[in-house]
Amino acid sequence: MLKSSMTKNNQLWFELNPDQKAIIASLKDYLKNEVAPGAIERDKSSEFPRKIVNELGAMGIMGMQVPEQYGGSNLDTKTMALIIEEISTVDGSLALTVASHNSLCTGHILLAANDDLKAKYLPDLASAKKLGAWGLTETVSGSDAAALKTKAEEKSDHFLINGSKAFITQGTVAGTYLITARTDASDRSLASGISAFIVDGDSEGLIRGIPENKLGLHSSDTTPLSFENLKVPKENLVGERGKAFVDVMKVLNGGRIGIGAMGIGLGRGALEIAAKYALEREQFGKPLVKNQAIAFKIAEMATELEAARLLVFKAAALKDAGRDYTEAAAMAKLKGSVAGVQANDYAIQIMGGNGYMVDYEVERMWRDNRLTRIGEGTDEIQHLIIAREYLKQFS
């Protein structure tokens, strides 16, 4: 017998359940009162919002997918994506801080660390007592992550790390770092020889660089790191020696869901501002929205963002079901970032000269969103992943 796709309470799969509605409603109030008022000034000053991050930690947002036994909220991936999207509508820098902390450093520990390491590090990460940073990218290995040069040499009771990392989010403000380094000879066909380590922020030999001067996301901390004879206890090895690259790819898959949601949120924030503007602004004796060219832009923005959101929900559902979500995550990230940046660009166009001005915020949203087409894998890398995964069915 055929069954309806509805649940008993007639809730469709893409709709929010009561718990999600309550979480987002509470978050909206907090963002409106505590985050939005200072977003423009933080963009100008590049001040990291430590107080806000601490408050998000108290709300359970900095440990969204950490199990309750470690002080986390144990939320599903769809709810995490909804939270990241909502934060993004107000402050892209804060959204990137939340997304990277949860998906990358904390996510890698959740995925591959043993129980002792989880018990030692996850509680402080979940509460935001310590922020997490994830060190993969190097100046010689961006999209080609397996080409990293940082080395970890095994000694009697520790590893000695030497090398450097680039573009590290939370680079100067983190207290816990997840660093990848080469421990063994490389077999490029298997991307072997790479290991992962947890590094304490006060470790001797961990050198934080000067924060980068960026196009956008100014109050998100982005910094190079270098390691000079950095000693890491052997027990801080995460996962199997020489096999971390597989875990890295899984972590990036999860991170892509968050970046897709971030792209959607920044695009949605700009859409909402532009739509209100078009309803109120009059030209040639009528509201802008009565101009078909403007109305069609709003229609396209809304449609593309909604399509991207459904892809994010699909990837989240597959991830939580324990099924392969590599292709779905790449699609969600690609669609979310491209649709979001396009929405930001259209919003500026709809608002004309005012859209180019700082006080209307859509220009900041555009600058912030442009990173989503690069971070967690460029558009080009997502295309390669999607093509590879799609073509598997024919081979």
- Could you tell me the sign of the dihedral formed by the alpha carbons of 288, 291, 292, 294, in that order? negative
The Cβ-side half-sphere exposure at 271, using a 13 Å CA radius, reads: 25
Taking CB atoms within 8 Å and a gap of at least 24, the contacts of 14-23 are 14/310, 14/313, 16/82, 19/79, 20/78, 20/79, 20/82, 23/79, 23/82, 23/83
Residue of 58, 52, 56, 76 whose CA lies nearest to 66: 76
Parallel/antiparallel/unpaired status of strands 132-135 and 176-182: parallel
Cα angle 52-333-262, degrees, rounded to a multiple of 5: 20
Pick the catalytic residue from 41, 282, 376, 389: 376
376 is catalytic: yes
CA distance 190 to 260: 28
Cβ-based neighbours of 257, under 8 Å, separated by 6 or more: 77, 80, 81, 103, 312, 315, 316, 319, 329, 332, 333
For residue 231, give both structure tokens. Answer: 């000693």
Residue with tokens 């099924």: 323
CA distance 260 to 316: 11
Q: What are phi and psi of 160, to 5 degrees?
A: -110, 115
Partners of residue 160 on adjacent β-strands = 153, 231
Residue with tokens 């977003």: 39
CA distance 317 to 291: 39
The burial of 363, by beta-carbon neighbours within 10 Å (0-12 exposed, 13-18 middle, 19 or more buried), is given as: buried
Cα angle 30-34-38, degrees, rounded to a multiple of 5: 140
- Is the distance from CB of 123 to CB of 116 less than 8 angstroms? no
Cα angle 264-180-248, degrees, rounded to a multiple of 5: 45
Q: What are phi and psi of 148, to 5 degrees?
A: -60, 150
Q: Give the residue numbers marked as catalytic.
A: 376
